[in-house]
Structure 1
Amino acid sequence: MTHPDKPLALQKLIADGFSIGLELPLDNDWSPTGELQRREAGRSPGEPNMCGHATLARLADLLGFRALWIRDVPLYDPQFGDAGQVFEAFSYLGYLAGITDHILLGTAAVVLPLREPMLTMKSAATIDRLSDGRLLLGVASGDRPIEYPIFGRDFEERGHTFRAQIDLLRNWGNGILPPGVQLLPRPQQQAVPLLVAGLAQQSPEWVGQHLDGWLAYPGTPEDHVQRSAFWRSVAGDKPYISFIHLDLLDAPTAPAQRHRFGLATGRHGLIAELQAMREAGVQHIGLHLRRNQRPVAQALEEIAAYVLPEFHVVA
């Protein structure tokens, strides 16, 4: 299946019709054992242990997961209780680009209104070049009001700012820079794919027209039947992507037990869930393992051995 009109990284993401990636941090700090270790280490609630992140990112690349996704959490707010993967998004993507070879690198999502737009473009192009065209640039308007005054930005104007920055990213500064002035480097891909998280304070029609794919919030397959149909009604065949909070249980036949944003299940239940997601119109799922009670590396190896081959070619 080829999509010549889509950016190269998007073509790779949906080349088999459906693919499986991972949402960082690759830490199970939301599990009972992980929570105990967090307390013993003196980390804040929602602050993961990043000591093994490089080893696990390399392992994910080697095992054939299709994409690594990172969130942009500029400031830790205890009211949200989640520090993301802690590292600054573009700096971290540059590091990941240097230690992996094949896996796509996605943001889910960069908060555009908090960032200087020209530097966002330069950072995105740098990552795309360093990774040989593996960047998927997920973008958002942001949902943490405390950040905006700290960054000197207007929370109520974030929708307008988001639209303006999308225009800049699409035109790559053309018509704004003085004659002869260039923003270098240029991206490796002809155009960096722009994926939106939620609606970013925009109308569905505007989002469907101006963005290359949708990063949908986690939900059940039944949820995604309706959401993916809604997306296709405004965006045609542009990719529909979502995430699952997974606790992969030891017993392969352990029945699925749903929790917020995902489920605890054995690998057979995971395969059934992913098949249902694919039938519901989802084209890529990022697995979030912070609830996982088993060691993350062990879960990755089992998923790679038994689940990935059911859905896509492992490079």
Structure 2
Amino acid sequence: MNSSLALPEALANHPGFSRVFKPGHLSIGFVAPLEGYPDSAGPTMANHASMAKLADDVGIAALWLRDVPFYDPTFGDVGQILDPMVYAGWLSAMTRNIAIGTAGIVAPLRDPLIVAKQAASVDQLLGGRFLLGLASGDRPEEYPAFGQAFSQRASRFREALEIIHTVSEDSFPSYRSQLHGSMNGSLDLIPKPVAKRFPYIATGRAGQTLEWLAANVDAWIWHGFDPQGMTDVIPQWRDACAERGYKPYGYGCWFDLDPDPDAPIEPGRVLRGGRHALIELWQRQEQAGVTHLVLNLKPTRRRPEDIFDELGRYVLPLFPAHTQRLAESAR
């Protein structure tokens, strides 16, 4: 492998990160909930335990949890309803191999010390399978409820990330911040992550430049209006990472698998098509540098069990979770 496309050793050996991200290869993840709810703001969550186990069993690389504290009718979607950190802890008892990530914790609205405490606790329960995805939030109405200014979200995000780094990696840390308090070395945050540190994933731009993200996170998951055009930004991301080494890129989108395997991909914000066209698209995107997909089943009317069965039979063998691929090649 080209050394310029290699992960740092700590990330290449990280149980969660190495399952999801491998240079030159694409993996498939899903955002919770694992069901369609095209006509409502929220899912039923009726079979979420069995669906999480099924996602794990068929070899989905990661399950991502959204941070949506309120129902905002102007957005019309409450994600998996349950708090992502609480839900991640519950999922640790329901799953064995799948990585569990947040996509993403709205860092400007949460105390970074509590985020670090929760994330390290979840990571311990998951045996190192946790991926800490952070975002700045895109729902302005939430900010007054938390007593925060929407205009400060970018600076609060940067400071929160630095604090989480410090308290989760250093013993008896010292720091002084402008927006989040200070520590003087008399206290230590426990537990720490299973590995030396969390893998940090930016979900969205978080109000930052690509250069800042390249310097401060380990991977970037973008979202856009055209899933078929999500390779367009890759040259800019590579340029931003040029002096930092290789950092993975992925994207998230609404998804619906057409039951007709020969159906073409439909234009629009929903990535909808038959498996043959989707495989061709994802192979092209893999070659272009996409390393992970975060698929959202909200628009589908198909039974998610049928979608996962079809993916497991025909698609995931071409885009496997990477630790699964390594384990199989060793047998």
* Residue of structure 1 aligned with 2:122, choices 99, 124, 127: 127
Q: For residue 212 of structure 1, what is the aligned residue in structure 2?
A: 218
Q: From the superposition, tell whether residues 6 and 217 of structure 1 become closer, same or farther in structure 2 (CA, over 3 Å).
A: farther
In structure 1, the partner of 2:174 is: 175
Give the aligned residue type for 2:20: L
Residue 301 (structure 1) shift: 0.8
Instruction: Note if contact 1:25-1:53 (Cα within 8 Å) is conserved in structure 2.
Output: yes
SS class of match (2:233)? helix
Aligned equivalent of 1:271, options 279, 292, 303 = 279
Per-residue Cα deviation, 1:169-203 (whole angstroms, up to 9, x for no partner):
22226214344421000001211011112221222
AA matched with 2:48: H
Q: Which runs of 5+ in 2 are unaligned?
A: 176-182, 325-331
What is the CA–CA distance in structure 2 between the aligned matches of 1:221 and 1:144, rounded to whole Å?
22
Query: Partners in 2 of 1:222 and 1:299 — Cα distance?
Result: 20
**How does 1:282-301 map onto structure 2 within 5 Å?**
282-301=290-309
Equivalent residue number for residue 179 of structure 2:
none
Q: Say which is worse superposed, 115-124 or 149-158, in terms of deviation.
A: 149-158
Shift of 1:245: 2.0
Cα distance between partner residues in 2 of 1:311 and 1:13: 10
Residue aligning to 2:249: 240
Measure, in 1, the Cα distance between the counterparts of 2:200 and 2:10.
11
Partner secondary structure for residue 237 of structure 2: helix
The letter of the residue matching 2:220 is W
Q: Is the 8 A contact 2:258 2:273 kept in 1?
A: yes
Structural mapping, 1:111-260, within 5 Å: 111-172=106-167, 174-176=173-175, 177-218=183-224, 220=226, 223-236=229-242, 237-260=246-269
Worse overlay, 104-113 or 201-210? 201-210
Pairs within 5 Å for 1:295-314: 295-312=303-320
Equivalent residues of 2:225, 2:268 under 8 A apart: no
Of residues 9, 21, 27, the one that matches 1:14 is: 21
Between the two proteins, the alignment pairs up a number of residues equal to 301
Q: Indicate if the aligned counterparts of 2:33 and 2:79 stay in contact, CA closer than 8 A.
A: yes
Cα distance change on mapping 1:306 and 1:218 into 2, 3 Å: farther
The structural deviation recorded for 1:220 is 4.4
1:107-130 Cα offsets, whole Å, 9 max, x none, are 111100100111000001011110
Q: 1:4: how far off? A: 3.9
Q: 1:221 to 1:76 in 2, by over 3 A?
A: closer
The match for 2:80 among 80, 85, 95 is 85
Distance 1:313 1:145 in 2: 36
Q: Normalization by structure 1: what TM-score?
A: 0.90
- Aligned CA distance change for structure 1 residues 112 and 313 (closer, same or farther; 3 Å): closer
Judging changes above 3 Å, is the alpha-carbon distance between structure 1 residues 222 and 27 closer, same or farther for their aligned structure 2 residues? Answer: closer
Quick one: which amino acid aligns to residue 3 of structure 1? L
Segments of structure 1 that go 5 or more residues without pairing to the other structure are 36-44
Residue pair 2:109, 2:143 contacting (<8 A) in 1 also: yes
| CA RMSD across the alignment | 1.8
Between the two proteins, what is the percent identity of the paired residues?
37
Rate the CA distance shift 1:218–1:304 in 2: closer, same or farther, 3 A. farther
C-alpha separation in 1, matches of 2:220 and 2:51:
27
SS in 2 for 1:244: strand
C-alpha distance 201-76 of structure 1, shift in aligned 2 (>3 A): same
Q: Residue in 2 aligned with 1:55? A: 50
Is the 1:221–1:276 contact (alpha carbons within 8 Å) kept by the matching residues of 2? no
Given the two structures, how large is their TM-score scaled by the length of structure 2?
Answer: 0.86
Amino acid across the alignment from 1:251: D
CA contact (8 A) 2:20 2:321 kept: no
| Partner of residue 178, structure 2 | none
Distance in 2, Cα, partners of 1:142 & 1:61: 28
**2: CA distance between counterparts of 1:81 and 1:129?**
34
